């Protein structure tokens, strides 16, 4: 299923050169990073990598969605955090690579059952969740 955007409110633009061993920058200059494969994948690890960038974006986006649904439910999301873990590995057909995501949410002071409901609702609202739904495994959990 394709999700259609009714009206584009903002468009981010970034350009990469050198792929996983190069540089990526946004057109406004606010993001400009060296990209390098992690040591675990045979690289130098002397830069960020696409998985870290995806994890940071997903965590920030999901946290915004969480704060939105918490506010609507009159729950206090003060001090909350979202940690995204993005794994990469070969896919079953052996031709390419795929990603998997684990989102770990901390909602201090919110009852566990309520926190679980908020996380589930945030997963329905978050643009990253909507973009990846049905395309990769996303595990949701509450921090211990």
Which CATH number belongs to the domain containing residue 17 in this structure? Answer: 2.20.25.10
d(CA 112, CA 88): 30
Whether 92 shows a pLDDT value over 90: the answer reads no
| Beta carbons within 8 Å of 26's beta carbon, 6+ residues apart | 12, 13, 14, 32
Look at residue 87 in the predicted model and tell me its pLDDT. 97
Does residue 70 share a domain with residue 131?
A: yes
Does residue 37 share a domain with residue 57?
A: no
3-state secondary structure of 27: coil
- Structure-token match 């919110």, residue found: 110
Does residue 106 share a domain with residue 75?
A: yes
Whether 95 shows a pLDDT value over 90: the answer reads no
Give the pLDDT band of residue 93 (cuts 50, 70, 90): confident
Look at residue 4 in the predicted model and tell me its pLDDT. 86
Whether 1 shows a pLDDT value over 80: the answer reads no
Whether 24 shows a pLDDT value over 90: the answer reads yes
Does residue 62 share a domain with residue 2?
A: no
Does residue 83 share a domain with residue 39?
A: no
Does residue 9 share a domain with residue 27?
A: yes
Residue pair 79/110 in contact (Cβ under 8 Å)? The answer is no
Look at residue 67 in the predicted model and tell me its pLDDT. 98
- Phi and psi at 135, nearest 5°, equal -110, -25
Q: Which domain holds residue 12?
A: 1-48
| Beta carbons within 8 Å of 10's beta carbon, 6+ residues apart | none
Whether 3 shows a pLDDT value over 90: the answer reads no
Q: How many CB atoms lie within 10 A of CB 55?
A: 20
Does residue 126 share a domain with residue 58?
A: yes
Which CATH number belongs to the domain containing residue 66 in this structure? Answer: 3.30.300.20
């Amino acid at each position: 299923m394709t999700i259609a955007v009714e009206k584009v409110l903002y468009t981010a633009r970034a350009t990469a050169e050198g792929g996983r061993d190069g540089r990526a920058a946004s057109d406004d200059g606010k993001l400009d990073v060296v990209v390098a494969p992690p040591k675990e994948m045979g690289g130098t690890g002397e830069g960020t990598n696409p998985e870290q960038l995806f994890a940071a974006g997903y965590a920030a986006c999901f946290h915004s969605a969480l704060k939105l649904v918490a506010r609507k439910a009159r729950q206090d999301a003060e001090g909350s955090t979202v940690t995204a873990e993005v794994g990469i590995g070969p896919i079953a057909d052996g031709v390419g690579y795929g990603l998997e995501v684990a989102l770990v949410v901390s909602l201090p002071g919110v009852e566990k059952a309520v926190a679980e409901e908020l996380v589930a609702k945030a997963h329905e609202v978050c643009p990253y969740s909507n973009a990846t739904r049905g395309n990769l495994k996303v595990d949701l959990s509450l921090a211990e």
